[in-house]
Structure 1
C-alpha cells in the first residue's frame, strides 16, 4: 500500500485545520494518513471556543494499534493539547518508535491559528522541550519558535533548538505580518542549508501551518530528501492558498481555508 504517515492531531469541526488538514495534505502528497485523535475542539474557521483533550491512554491505544497494523514510514504531530499527551508521545518514541528510526515531523502547536488557547503555554513549552530530541523536523511559527527557544532572533532560536537535539528546523516568517514577503530557512544540525522567499498573499489562512507540515511528512514517507520535501511543500501550499475558500467573503479580515484539492501546476 501507499506509505503511511501516522498523525497525532485534534478534530477541527470546520475542516480547516487539525486532522482533516492532515488527511487531505498527506493524501495530496501521495501517502496515506492514519490518525490518532488527540482532542475534540469546538471551533469554526475563525476562532477556537473550547476543546476537550482525549486521555493519553486512549491516544496511545489508537497509535499502537495502527503501528501494529500498517507500514508507518513517518510520524507527524500537531495539536497534542496536554502535557500528558506530549509525555505519552515522548515515551512512545523512547520505548518503541526511535528504535525503528522513523522520521518525525513535529508541528508544536501552542495556540490555534484562529487565536484560541490550547492550554497553559509555559507548561506546554516545558513538555515539548523533552520531545524535541526525537524530531527529524520541527515546523514552528515564529511565536512557537521564540517560545520554545527563548530567543527573539529566529536564526539563533533555530540553532538553539538544533543544539537541544532537534535534527532540523524550518523557520517561517509567515506570522510576522509586517515583514513583507515570507522568508523560510531550513536549518539542519544548526546550519542553514536552504533559503526561500514566498510572496505574501492577502488575508490570513486557517490550517496553513498544519497543511504544510503534513505535506512535508507525506513526501518524506515517499522517500524524498528533506530539502526536496520542503521545496515541494512550498510549491503545493502556495497554490492551495491562492485558491483558498472564503467562508465570509464580505469580511476582509476573516480567515480563509486552504483549498487542498486544487489542481497543482508544475513548478518552474
Structure 2
C-alpha cells in the first residue's frame, strides 16, 4: 500500500493573474508545484492580456490582499515568499508589512522579488510608476531578479552590471541575480549572481530562437521553491536556471506570439488520462 506524501514546503506567492495562463500567478503555481512545493497564492491584480500584449491592469484592494495573506500566515508554515507585480504602491507597502510580520518569527525566511515593470512588449504592469511603486520591497528582498531592461530602469543604463548590483544591494537586497535574457540577441544568455561579501557566479545558457511568455516568472518561482526546500542561494539559483531552461526548450505555442514555457513535464505513459 502506498503512503501519503510528506507535507511539501509552502511558498507564499504575491502576483498578478494572467488569463492567458502564461505569466504571473498562472506561471508561479505550476512551477512551484513541479518542484515539490505547495503554492499559497494571493493575487495582487487582475490583468487583461494575451501572450503578446497587456491591455489593462486592475490592482486589487490592499486590504483584500492583506486579509488573504493574513489567513494563510496565521495557519501555515511558510518556507519562502515569491513576489511578482504588486499593481500599485499601496499594495507593495502592504506586502512589505506582511513580510516584516513573517520575519518576526522567521528571520531567515527567503523572499524572492521579481521586479516586473512591464511585459516583453513594454506594456506597463502597474497603475503607478512601476519603478517607484516597488521601493518598499527592496528592504524585504532576500534576492531580486531583474532582467537587463529592468536593471537599466531601476539603476540606470549607464552603470555596469556590478554597479547595478551594488545599487540594488544598497537599497536592501541581500542578493542580486541579473538575468541576461533581454540582452543582445547574438549572444548567449548570461545570468550573474552577486551576493554578500563579494560572492559572485555567472552562468551562460544557449539563447533560444523564440520569445517566451512568463520566463522571468518561471525562474523566480522556481528559485523560491528551491530555497523553500532548503538549498543554499548559489545552489538554488543554479537548480532554478536548469529547470527554467528545460521549460523553455520544451515550450509550446497556443497562438502566434510568445511561446508558453512547459512548466509541468508530461509523462509519456499518461495521455488524455489513460495509462499506457
Structures share fold, TM-score greater than 0.5 = yes
Match of 2:202 in 1: 195
Native 8 Å contact 1:78 1:210 kept in 2: yes
Whole-angstrom CA distance in 1 between matches of 2:148 and 2:177: 10
Match of 2:18 in 1: 12
Match of 2:27 in 1: 21
Q: Please give the secondary structure, in 2, of the residue aligned with 1:68.
A: helix
Matches within 5 A, 1:245-260: 245-248=252-255, 251=256, 254-260=257-263
Deviation string 1:160-197 (CA, Å, 9 cap, x unpaired) is 11122210000111111335100111001362421110
Matches within 5 A, 1:232-251: 232-248=239-255, 251=256
Whole-angstrom CA distance in 1 between matches of 2:28 and 2:103: 22
| Alignment match of 2:145 (pick from 139, 161, 172) | 139
Matches within 5 A, 1:1-268: 1-94=7-100, 96-99=101-104, 100-101=106-107, 102-119=109-126, 123-152=129-158, 153-178=160-185, 180-189=187-196, 191-248=198-255, 251=256, 254-262=257-265
Q: CA offset at residue 120 of structure 1? A: 5.7
Native 8 Å contact 1:185 1:192 kept in 2: no
Q: Please give the secondary structure, in 2, of the residue aligned with 1:169.
A: strand
Q: Please give the secondary structure, in 1, of the residue aligned with 2:134.
A: helix
Looking at CA atoms only, which structure, 1 or 2, has the larger radius of gyration? 2
Native 8 Å contact 1:10 1:18 kept in 2: yes
Native 8 Å contact 1:140 1:170 kept in 2: yes
Whole-angstrom CA distance in 1 between matches of 2:111 and 2:197: 18
Deviation string 1:40-85 (CA, Å, 9 cap, x unpaired) is 1111111111121101110111111111111111111101111111
Change (3 A) 1:190 1:138: farther
Q: CA offset at residue 149 of structure 1? A: 2.0
Whole-angstrom CA distance in 2 between matches of 1:212 and 1:263: 19
For structure 2, the residue ranges without an aligned partner over 5 or more in a row are 1-6, 268-276
Native 8 Å contact 2:131 2:153 kept in 1: yes
Q: Please give the secondary structure, in 2, of the residue aligned with 1:261.
A: coil
For structure 1, the residue ranges without an aligned partner over 5 or more in a row are none
Q: TM-score, normalised by structure 2?
A: 0.88
Q: CA offset at residue 103 of structure 1? A: 1.1
Native 8 Å contact 2:73 2:102 kept in 1: no
Native 8 Å contact 1:159 1:191 kept in 2: no
The alignment of Structure 1 onto Structure 2 pairs a total of residues equal to 258
Native 8 Å contact 1:168 1:190 kept in 2: no
Q: TM-score, normalised by structure 1?
A: 0.91
Whole-angstrom CA distance in 2 between matches of 1:170 and 1:144: 12
Match of 2:271 in 1: none
Aligned-pair Cα RMSD in Å: 1.7
Q: CA offset at residue 114 of structure 1? A: 4.6
